[in-house]
Amino acid sequence: MGRITQLKPLSEISTPEINLAITRSTVSIADDQRIIVVGNSAGQLVEFDFSSKNSTSEKAKSEKPTSRPFESGHSSYVTGVAWTKGGIVSVGYDRKMIWWDPLERTVLREIVAHEKWIRRIAVSPDGTTIATVADDMHCKLWNAITGELMFVQDDHQPVTPHHYPSMLYAVAFSASGEQLATGDKVGHIAIWETQTGRKLGELESPGMYTWDPKARRHSIGGIRSLAFSRSGSLLAVGGIGAIGNVDHLDGPARVEIFDWQQSKSLVQLSDTAMKGLVEQLHFSSDDSQLITAGGDNNGFITVYDLATNKVDVQVKAHQHLHGMIVDEASQRLYAAHHGKVSMWELQDQPVA
């Protein structure tokens, strides 16, 4: 597709739960089979079918997606879900990692993967390697097909500089699958070699972390999203800037982009128009644009032009947006929100 010039809402469905994570249900999302899987605050996985012959028309807005729950598996929040070559895999606050049959929506395998809450899951582009991060501050790499533990990567401190427990929020693979990045509450990022588990470098983004030493003696923020550029040379880091009141997400949505091989910060993007956490990041196929999404009480989707570092497109996106899939082939964006699941059209302008 060309440059994204507009985001158009196509279809949505309201839910009583907080929808925290989202993935495709098959290898790709075809035009006639737009099926996604969402993990929520009730410990459930739910399949949503957005397929519709009218998905590009006004009629689509009145055609609600159908939903089908998976069988029971998690006992608490499902914080990550991903398609792999071993099936759908989910993680949650119950410390479990569960493999699912995507057609039968039944459990294939489950293990206790971490000692504390699991925050995020990522899968290599070829679907064969899983990375999980948790509040035990470990990043673990797993064989997606066999469930075998491959590596445990440790570089993040369990305690913040102010002597409170830290959290390991974010993990992402590079487009080649050869590198992996992890990011924590205080803004520390580690880059790893996937095949060996060897640490390749580290970065710091302390502007993502706010500490209130007076009113609350409490900290907030942290790195909530990571994404490598398609070329592999850049690493985008998402979170929130300085917060005046740490009881709320009243701070600018913040993105920092690094040349990770040179350990150099290239640009910092701070947005006060749409405040809150940047929960999701996605580079366009030619690395000319960066899609960011998240929110405070409200949700947002913002597309940056990386040549000018200015906003190309920005929309208010229902309530807080936790999860996102971008499918450029079909020009669709699927989002998991607080109380809603939605589908958007990425309207483009052909590249000259």
**Per-residue pLDDT reduced to its tens digit, 2-32:** 899 999 999 999 999 999 999 998 755 555 5
pTM score of the predicted model? 0.94
Examine residue 109 and state whether it is found in any structural domain, yes or no: no
Burial class (CB in 10 A: 0-12, 13-18, 19+), 81: buried
Average pLDDT on 73-89 reads 97
Q: What is the pLDDT of residues 192-227, one digit of tens each?
A: 999 999 999 999 999 999 887 765 566 788 999 999
**pLDDT at residue number 23:** 97
Examine residue 111 and state whether it is found in any structural domain, yes or no: no
Examine residue 21 and state whether it is found in any structural domain, yes or no: no
Neighbours of 13 (CB within 10 A): 17
Examine residue 317 and state whether it is found in any structural domain, yes or no: yes
| Residues of the chain above pLDDT 70, percent | 91
List the domain range (segments joined by +) for residue 321.
3-15+117-349
CATH of the domain at 265: 2.130.10.10
Which strands, in side-by-side order, build the sheet including 188-193?
A: 168-173, 179-184, 188-193, 199-204
Examine residue 191 and state whether it is found in any structural domain, yes or no: yes
Examine residue 28 and state whether it is found in any structural domain, yes or no: no
How many independent structural domains does the chain possess? 1
Examine residue 288 and state whether it is found in any structural domain, yes or no: yes
**pLDDT at residue number 214:** 66
Between 245 and 118, residue with greater pLDDT: 118
Q: How many whole angstroms from its chain centre is CA 56? A: 26
SS3 for the chain is CCEEEEEEEEEEEEEEEEEEEEEECCCCCECCECEEEEEECCCCEEEEECCCCCCCCHHHHHCCCEEEECCCCCCCCEEEEEEECCEEEEEECCCEEEEEECCCCEEEEEEECCCCCEEEEEECCCCCEEEEEECCCCEEEEECCCCCEEEEECCCCCECCCCCECCEEEEEECCCCCEEEEEECCCEEEEEECCCCCEEEEEECHHHEEEECCCCCEEEECCCEEEECCCCCEEEEEEECCCCCCCCCCCEEEEEEEECCCCEEEEEEEEEEEECEEEEEEECCCCCEEEEEEECCEEEEEEEECCCCEEEEEEEEEECEEEEEEECCCCEEEEEEEEEEEEEEEEEECCC
Examine residue 228 and state whether it is found in any structural domain, yes or no: yes
Which residues pair with residue 299 across a beta bridge?
295
